A and B are shown apart, each in its own frame.
Chain A
Amino acid sequence: MSTSKVQIALVLPDLLGTYGDFGNAVVLEKRMTWRGISAEIVNIRFGEPVPESCDIYVVGGGEDTAQTLAVRHLREHPGMQRAAARGAVILGVCAGIQIFGESFTRADQVTHAGLGLIDSTSHAGGSRAIGEVIATPADGLFEGLLTGFENHQGRTVLGPSARPLAHVKVGTGNDGSVEGAVQGRILCTYLHGPVLPRNPQIADLLIEWATGIKPGPLDLPDVTRLRAERAKAAGVPL
């Protein structure tokens, strides 16, 4: 850790904050603070430089235009990519999974270069995937089911250096079969909800990566109840 406080960078929330992505940063912050780990959220807005000293970077979803602008900004200010090179933890949601890859191709067939953080390419699918998603963990990466809401047209193909986060039971995810991507300490997913409030085990996995310590249990009855409700709504009781 670069400072005594765990710094959570919320990257371009004014461009890539379309789906309540602030929630992912809040969940990380509170789950650390409540356990006595000092943590804070650092907002990095459009037009501002991106520091490379943060411990966790949270990148959210955005509209097509916003996504292009975000890539441009993150290239001009490559703090996050430098942090990734030294092993910082990064969560990329929705647009995040697309812009972190080698390239992404829009519905207009124009291909844009990605940030090259994960071995993947994305392209526009025929139809928009909208609805509840349930997926099971890949390679025992986490416990329990992955639950969330997806709303995206992109489809993502992973290369050999990236592995999927989960296997889709209900919904579409990357391609109807697998969901998300993990490469080193970079974790990507198409799921909103936002994803960390719905999946505290993923939040704790990111915290473990960032601090080197596996966090102890944290009983939040509303979260347990929500996970059961959403799984039931998707037809896959927990």
Chain B
Amino acid sequence: MSSKLSQKMGLGAGGMIGGRVALKLDPQALAHLTSGRQVALVTGTNGKTTSTMMLSRAVSFLGEVATNHGGANMPDGHVTALSKQPDAPYAVLEVDEGYFPEVVRAAAPAVAVLLNLSRDQLDRVGEVRTIEKSLRTALASVTGVVVANCDDIMVTSAARDSANVVWVATGTGWHNDAASCPRCGDPIRWQGEHWQCTGCDLARPRPQWVTGDGYLVTPNGVKVELSLRLPGKFNQANAVMAAAAAAALGVPVEEAVQRLRAVSNVAGRYRTIQRSGHRARLLLSKNPAGWSETLTVVREADHPAVLVINAHEADGRDLSWLWDVPFERLRGRQVIASGERATDLAVRLTYAEVEHTIVPDPLLAIDAMPPGPVEVIANYTAFRDLNARAAQ
């Protein structure tokens, strides 16, 4: 009932209000609803929604899975998702970094997945090092398996004190927040893919799982082709993290990969819409690391690009991060700055020497492009609003 109400009121996709009411009535609702299930939690700055969907698909090999598709990743969203499938023996939950300690305490996960950690919405989420410390404490209490990305220094520091860690070399990490060691503060030194602190013993652990270009290698040295439908190196990283987590729950790797391979559209992301003679591919990017990866994906072809920026609470109201994104890569391409904060973006593009025009409404921006393929990259609320309007 309240879920319908939430949808009617336009409060997201109806994932939140039911859970909020349930948590008011029973503050232990999350602990009760996870009790007796095998729970996997997925957190990190980028790729949570995609990895959660991939992992839930893979785990469905074992039985019914309750999951919070669509990014309602706080405890009320978890309660809603779990209430909808009370009999599912497995739960795969995407968890906001800030709520991770609370959810770990309530859900006692069999598997906890930590993808990556980088700067994101500093006015809302807080500073990376603070998040790393709180995740470190939470992960140390996990009695199940922790699946962690050893190419990310912050992740390694957060996961290292856990009893049972499976290390995955994803080949991805945002190093601009980790020049100094999160443990002792001394500089980190890189040598090829290996990194180590110059002051203490924090160093890249030996990975059990390895991500290659288009394939993964299991702890037994078996090479498995990924052949993903989702683009980009970061989705290969998400896939290998999901496969490693699924293996920890007992899913054979071939079965896992076969299922996550089919993922092609994650809460509207990566889907293509047809509009006014355009084929517009919708891409979500929320922070510098995400934008940097997405700009690499759109580089594969020279299509015109519409970039959409908002700055609501959920996006982070401080747009300084636009200057951490290498927009210089779009030089020579047809670009439209769009969204409520199109002008902030336009100034960034001016100094990046990327020619552009400003069309604040993203649908009109698509219309203004020459017919054919268009890449549309939007941040959080901009993407959510565009996706909803495109569906109408």
A interface, CB within 8 angstroms of B: 12-15, 17-23, 26-27, 30, 45-47, 63-66, 68-69, 130-131, 149, 151, 192-194, 197-198, 220, 222-223, 225-226, 229
Contacts and interface: CB of A to CB of B under 8 A. Distances in A.
Interface centre among A19, A21, A220, A223 (most CB of B within 10 A): A19
Nearest to B352: A26
7 contacts: A12-B179, A14-B176, A17-B176, A17-B324, A65-B129, A69-B185, A130-B123
Contact of A131 (B317, B323, B346, B352): B317
Given A63-B127, A149-B317, A226 B179 contact: no
B341 to A, nearest CB: 9
B367 interface: no
B320 A69 contact: no
Nearest to A33: B353
Interface centre among B127, B320, B347 (most CB of A within 10 A): B320
Interface centre among B127, B323, B358 (most CB of A within 10 A): B323
Contact of A18 (B119, B130, B322, B352): B119
A192 B318 contact: yes
Nearest to B126: A63
Given A19-B122, A222-B350, A47 B198 contact: yes
B176 A222 contact: no
For the complex of A and B, list the 10 residue pairs with the smallest distance between their C-beta atoms, beginning with the closest. A23-B323, A14-B179, A20-B323, A20-B320, A47-B187, A19-B320, A222-B346, A63-B127, A46-B179, A192-B320
Interface of B: 119, 122-123, 127-130, 176, 179-180, 185, 187, 189, 198, 317-324, 343-344, 346-353, 358
Given A14-B176, A46-B179, A229-B343, A223 B320 contact: no
Contacts of A45: 179
A86 B348 CA distance: 33
B318 A223 contact: no
Contacts of B176: 13-14, 17
Given A20-B321, A20-B324, A26-B351, A151 B180 contact: no
A66 B180 contact: yes
A223 B348 CA distance: 9
B351 A151 contact: no
Nearest to B179: A14
A230 to B, nearest CB: 8
Given A14-B179, A63-B129, A69-B185, A19 B347 contact: no
B318 A22 contact: no
Contact of B185 (A65, A193, A198): A65
B347 A223 contact: yes
Given A27-B351, A63-B128, A69-B185, A194 B323 contact: yes
A69 B180 contact: yes
A193 B344 CA distance: 9
Given A19-B318, A192-B318, A151 B123 contact: yes
B365 to A, nearest CB: 16
